[in-house]
Amino acid sequence: MAKCAICDKGVHFGIKVSHSHRRSNRIWKSNVKSVKVKVNGGTKTMYVCTSCLKSGKVERA
């Protein structure tokens, strides 16, 4: 799974607990998109999470 190039957000792991309290592993995947970004006058494709896109930390090409 890809990580955000700005904030390094990636996959989170935890435990799913059922009603009968049986426990099993689960994964939370972060919302990461492939985006064209302006870098040093040129464009570059990188993975960026949607929270960084919404906050304006990245300037899209």
Tell whether the model's pLDDT for residue 1 goes beyond 80: no
Q: What is the per-residue pLDDT across 14-36, written as a single tens digit (0 to 9) for each? A: 999 999 999 999 999 999 999 99
Does the pTM of the predicted model rise above 0.85? no
d(CA 33, CA 18): 31
Tell whether the model's pLDDT for residue 61 goes beyond 90: no
Q: What is the per-residue pLDDT across 33-52, written as a single tens digit (0 to 9) for each? A: 999 999 888 999 999 999 99
pLDDT classification of 12: cutoffs 50, 70, 90: very high
CA distance readout (Å), 28 to 14, 36, 40: 8, 25, 33
